[in-house]
Amino acid sequence: MTNLKTGLAEGAERVSDAPVYNWVYRLLPRAIWPYAQLARWDRPIGWQLLLWPCWWSAALAPQAIAPSAVHTGLPSLWHLTLFFIGAIAMRGAGCTYNDLVDQEIDDKVARTRSRPLPSGRVSRLQAKLFMVVQALVGFLVLIQFNIFAVFLGIASLATVAVYPFLKRYTDWPQLGLGLAFSWGALMGWAAHWGELTLAPVLLYAGAILWTIGYDTIYAHQDKEDDALVGVRSTARLFGSWTRHALTVLYLGAVGLFLAAFLLTGTSSAGGPAWPAYAALAIGGVQMIWQIGTLDIDDADQCLALFKSNTVFGWIIFFGLIFSALWSLSFPVPAS
């Protein structure tokens, strides 16, 4: 009987849309669980997807043409570490803010009503204080970069602030998420060079299309509940045309990534080497697999396909790393 009561108590403290067995429940004290759930520590896919544009940009920037600069072509390990910590902290702060804004909506949706705020396991004041702590961690990370990157990072808060409200007034909340989650494509470059050029802007635009695509897949999990409570999304907008929309979005993303790589340099004077382009082609195949496999009425499959986008992230990142290593091993003399 005691074990049964314990199990029921633990079940009431879990959230329905997170894995039942994850490190939060195994390693953290139960009193910390609601805060870990607010920050989505039990669902690392979010900070991973936030991290990838940062790491792509950080890996692409050192391969840019800069005859007067001395660099290895490889990204700064310090910068990669900062982006890693910052992605976890700011994703957590953003999710906490989103839950504060969406508390009434979350209470009406089956998948989200077990979250800490609608279930009453944390108060709004506690959530706000926790959000501030996470944001402070993110700010401490941000000020390790140059002054241009610091102000650029602060500017990203505008996209974060607007995002939760878009689902109420527009069919394109996924665009808002793309603007916020892709900002790292600008930050990695700015952290390295202290300025922006067209290449990171194109990388940013491509990441936005990629984000709209994978978050549309994710949103298909909730489309019935969203229709009932009046929440709008690209999943509802595209409906049965989702595969066609994903084809356009993902094709546009790959095209913009390719343009960013090409603008970063040429084969005779800096820029990514062939492994980066090979990885982009492999990533394109992964996107085709997503589109071909998708069943918009299978919520479990939509979640699995959404999570598979971190594989795409690894593919592009390793392509850029191997590109830098290839260029170091087989340098091409400038013409």
| pLDDT (tens digit per residue) in 306-335 | 999 999 999 999 999 999 999 888 776 554
Structure tokens at 297: 């009425």
The rounded distance, in Å, linking the Cα atoms of 150 and 135 is 14
The rounded distance, in Å, linking the Cα atoms of 25 and 32 is 9
The rounded distance, in Å, linking the Cα atoms of 310 and 177 is 16
pTM reported for the whole predicted model: 0.90
Range of the domain at 52: 19-329
In-domain check, residue 3? no
What's 190's domain CATH number? 1.10.357.140
Task: Give the number of domains in the chain.
Answer: 1
Q: Looking at residue 266, what DSSP letter applies?
A: B
| pLDDT (tens digit per residue) in 92-148 | 999 999 899 988 888 877 777 888 899 889 999 999 999 999 999 999 999 999 999
In-domain check, residue 292? yes
State the pLDDT at residue 329: 82
The rounded distance, in Å, linking the Cα atoms of 303 and 310 is 12
In-domain check, residue 325? yes
| pLDDT (tens digit per residue) in 137-191 | 999 999 999 999 999 999 999 999 999 899 889 999 999 999 999 999 999 999 9
In-domain check, residue 6? no
| pLDDT (tens digit per residue) in 21-43 | 788 888 889 999 999 999 999 89
In-domain check, residue 274? yes
Q: Which of 80, 64, 60 is nearest to 279 (CA)?
A: 60
In-domain check, residue 317? yes
In-domain check, residue 205? yes
In-domain check, residue 144? yes
